[in-house]
Structure 1
Amino acid sequence: MERSVKPRWTTVLLTALIFVMVCNGLWPANRAEAAGQESKALRLMTFNVRNLHGDDGTINSWDNRKGIAVNAIQSFGPDIIGMQEAYDVQVNYFLSNLNASYQSIGKSRFGNTTDEYVNIMYRSDKFNVLESGQFWLSETPDVVGSRSSYDTKWPRICTWAKFQSKEDSRAIFYYFNTHYSLSADAQEQSSQLLLERISKYVTSPNVPVFIGGDLNSEEIGNGYMILDNSDFNDTWKDAGHSYVNDTTFGNYTGSTTDGHIDWIFQRNAVKINTIEINHYNENGRYPSDHYPVQLDVEIPLTGDPLPDRTSAGTATAQFNDSASGEDIAKAFDNSKTTKYCIPHGSAWIQYQFANGSKFAINRYRLTSANDNPTTRDPKSWTVKGSNDGVNWTTLDTRSNESFPLRFQTKEYTFNNSTAYEYIRMEYTSNGGAEFQLAEVELFDYVNVALNRSATADGAVTGEGPEKAFDGAVAGNSKWAATGAEPHWLRVDLGDRRNLYQFVIKHAASGGEVSSMNTVAYQIQISDDATNWTNVASVTDNRANVTTHNTNTFGRYLRLYVTDAAAKSGDTSARIYEWEAYGFASGATFYKDGSYGGNAVTLPKGNYTLAQLQEAGISNDDITSLRVFGGATVELYWDNNFQGTMLTRTEDDPSLTPEGWSDKTSSIKIY
């Protein structure tokens, strides 16, 4: 029982070594429950600010309207601004004069600082940039300054970034900002290329993605319709707005009757709060020939159901002759801007989990470093596991992989249920003489509903309930039931589990129209398949994939659908996949007695005080616990597994009678 100053019980979710699931946490003020999902509020703006010299010598010159432009932006206070046409001097003016802390991503359409940008400005005090890039809307999108064959006058570009909230690491989203040509053929090409690139860069099906920009296309144009007929939704239409008097190109006049050509599309947003065309002006003077379009939206918390396991352990490597600041520790430091780099084309790197802990690693992520993609990136490798650092079992093998982007993260999965203390990766680079890697992440979370026995109220031939648990979306692999609502889908997990996240893939995730996505449903859990408890209730879903974070126990799951689709008259249920993430074995620790207060679930492993605090368990602050999956829990009075020890193999609603309430400083679970 360490007697240091006690930090209060905190809520640290999905970070570092230990998974945390909070039942009744201390939530940030702008986190909300939207449509039955935990969500985070986000403010987005797309704004064609009119280029630096387009109105020189007139009342609408940049110097005459730049202050108005700043005030227009601040009237909404966006988190993200997708700008079009700004020159470097304009970008810098905004950065210097907006009240909040913004930074900008992107270069000009010629790849320099001397022409129009399609940049993204973001609140650097609120978000980290995980990945970013640019591509050109042409037949050669990776060639800087390239033009479409349909419009050779100017290069057109898209700038994109992946953001993560600093306040809640589970809030992750992408924003793609673009400016299309005036040519209808080029617009079609741009929309098709944009969707193709999004499918390449966005590897997670449930993360929210936004497309914003000046498409130079109204809602009847093919450039618009290609996006709207994809798995993206027009947020203007989502909000129920009409296309009458909705112009976004006012040409400094205040007009509302010209074309709507500036748009924000979304995929997997939880709720559209408001979307508006901002007509801000000062005595009839407007900030640009375009009006800003601004979106207030809720996004789901879709971060990893379990954290990267590379925390507090030991990293080693075959070679240690790296340049200063590029040693093996940099591959496991949770930073994509550092790297491990060696003058060898083939090498192994190894990670030993802390305190003798073992994890059944079944997926990993690799991030490319900052330079030399053709000579240093990993090309082929083998992943192995060991419990003694001598005898190794091959877990995964990859060949001829590539990382076309710098700081690009790719995820790889494989089947494995055996826990190992050591993980080794044996690499060969694509150049043969050098090797580098920015980051390695190791994960062990498992979809416990995969291939489990399923039943339903009904099913279309070839679309039975088992299709919702087969791990596939492609090839129309779904459960579908016709007839009157309600519909239900049930799965037997085989034994009682602790469950911490559900992911449901609705109709549009399989390529159907989004109006067929499930609108209203309940996620229910039971120990006997008779008595059901609601763990999530959704009333107005529009997302293609929904994510539900929870902390609950049970053997049986049921999806109870009360409104199967937004499409008028459609009562058919369609679920492409229902994933349930949980632990087979471990323990949940509660701040208060009778399983009350904040709850933290830990898998098998050994946890020092520092690791418990990182997970959200303060020193001397456990009063009750639940033990599941045949685990054994050892509670230690002092740090580093020292002092008096108490063993538990089953639930205990109160540690007070034994004198152990608020006494624990380290824990072993095995």
Structure 2
Amino acid sequence: MPDTLPAAPDDAPLVGAPDADLLHVMSLNVRCAIDDTLPGSPDHWPDRAPLVGRLLARERPTLLGVQEAHFAQLTTVTGALGDDYRSVGHGREGGAAGEHSAIVYDARRLSLLWWDQFWLSDTPRLAGSTWDHVYPRVVTWARFRDERTGADLVHVNSHFDHESEPARVRSAEVVRDLVTGSGLPAVFTADCNAPAERSAPYDVLVTDGGLHDAWVVADRRLTPDVGTFPDYGEPVPGGERIDWILTSPGVEVRAAATSTWRQDGRWPSDHTPVQALLRLTAA
């Protein structure tokens, strides 16, 4: 069992900018902006946007997988991280329309070699297509070169369907084949809408699929074990982890964390960010 350290003070990052050859990876469902929410309500994006900005400016991940972000929300994300960061990914309706599962990266550290996006459907190149689930779902993935170590790596980011278990399983199979077929060290970030360690998508990817759950295999846990979807309420100890960071063999997980940071009782999102400190060890 990994060691668990006391939570960081409110004014200190849980992980922060990494030293040496380590990579800081974060997965964050920002909760889409809903136009008819009122000021003061937990969902109201103008109230939450500054909190998302403060969280990211403090943590400064090397790689960030974002889910649910509308195009305008991505400006908050990239603006908080600064001019050295870039993003890739289109909306799930095509172009800038709809929610994005974007990849944001520190361009000082990582050089983008190429990236792609496809839809989780039988017609993956058709924008907005589905496997008969209500909302389109996408996979965004990119290959990077770590300028500090010279190693290449693949980052895959997605948001699995919230209603259809068959769609989640098929999505997991697609991601598994993509990661294992890349032949490179890889990291997968996602809101999988399924509990880690006890769901069929987890079995496809981890139990039978050969990927590693960063929270489970980490050398250290920097925070207590809580569920990742508190829905603006108190985090549940030992609750369901539906937001995952998974890694391929050849990636060492030095630390993992689930951020429960909030300010004056307000949450940045209805999900908690999950974070990991990684080291590439082999292709």
TM-score (norm 2): 0.85
Q: Which residue of 2 aligns with 1:85?
A: 68
Q: Secondary structure at the match of 2:22?
A: strand
Q: Distance in 2 between matches of 1:197 and 1:98?
A: 29
The 3-state SS of whatever aligns with 2:59 is: coil
Q: Give the C-alpha shift of residue 115 in structure 1.
A: 1.0
Please say which structure displays the higher CA radius of gyration: 1
* Match in the other structure for 1:250: 230
TM-fit CA distance, 1:90: 0.5
User: Cα gap change, 1:217/1:55 in structure 2, threshold over 3 Å: closer, same or farther?
Assistant: farther
1:235 aligned residue: 214
Larger relative contact order (CA 8 Å, sep ≥ 6): 2
- Say yes or no: does 1:217 pair with 2:198: no
Tell me the distance in 2 between the aligned counterparts of 1:71 and 1:181.
Answer: 29
CA distance in 1, matches of 2:266, 2:161: 27
1:504 aligns with none
Match of 1:208 in 2: 185
> Aligned letter for 2:263?
E
1:159, CA displacement in angstroms? 0.3
Deviation at 1:180, TM superposition (A): 0.2
Q: Give identity over the alignment, percent.
A: 27
Any residues of structure 2 matched to 1:407-422 within 5 Å, and which? none
- 1:224 partner letter: Y
The C-alpha deviation readout for 1:389-443, integer Å capped at 9, x for no partner, is xxxxxxxxxxxxxxxxxxxxxxxxxxxxxxxxxxxxxxxxxxxxxxxxxxxxxxx
Report the AA paired with residue 284 of structure 1.
G
Aligned partner (choices 119, 123, 127) of residue 140 of structure 1: 123
Whole-angstrom distance in 1 between the partners of 2:113 and 2:193: 30
**Given that residues 269 and 297 in structure 1 are in contact (C-alpha distance below 8 angstroms), is that contact kept between their aligned partners in structure 2?**
no
Q: Distance in 2 between matches of 1:42 and 1:125?
A: 12
Which runs of 5 or more structure 1 residues have no equivalent in the other structure?
1-28, 32-39, 301-545, 548-670
1:55 touches 1:62 (CA, 8 Å); kept in 2? no
Matched residue, 1:259: 240
Q: How many Å separate the matches in 1 of 2:88 and 2:274?
A: 20
- The number of aligned residues is 257
Instruction: Note if 1:65 corresponds to 2:48.
Output: yes
Distance 1:54 1:179 in 2: 21
Q: Which amino acid aligns with 1:218?
A: P
1:430-579 equivalences in 2 (<5 Å)? 546=282
Alignment gaps of 5+ in structure 2: 1-17
| TM value normalised by structure 1 | 0.37
- SS of corresponding position for 2:79: helix
Deviation at 1:268? 2.8
Matches within 5 A, 1:571-610: none
Give SS of 2:155's match: strand
Q: 1:160 aligned to 118, 137, 141, which one? A: 141
The DSSP-based 3-state class of the residue aligned with 1:134 is: strand
Is 1:289 matched up with 2:267?
A: no
Three-state SS of the structure 1 residue aligned to 2:189 is strand
User: 1:68, 1:287 within 8 Å by CA — same for their partners in 2?
Assistant: yes
Question: Which residue is equivalent to 2:101?
Answer: 118
Quote the RMSD (CA, aligned, Å).
2.0
After superposition, the Cα gap between the structure-2 partners of 1:166 and 1:159, relative to the gap in structure 1 and judged at 3 Å, is same
> What is the Cα deviation at residue 245 of structure 1?
4.7
Q: Please tell me whether the aligned partners of residues 49 and 268 of structure 2 are also in contact (alpha carbons under 8 angstroms).
A: yes
Structure with the higher strand share, 1 or 2: 1
Verify the 8 A CA contact 1:100 1:123 in the aligned structure 2. no
Q: Which of these residues, 35, 39, 43, is aligned with residue 24 of structure 2?
A: 43
Matching residue's letter, 1:251:
D
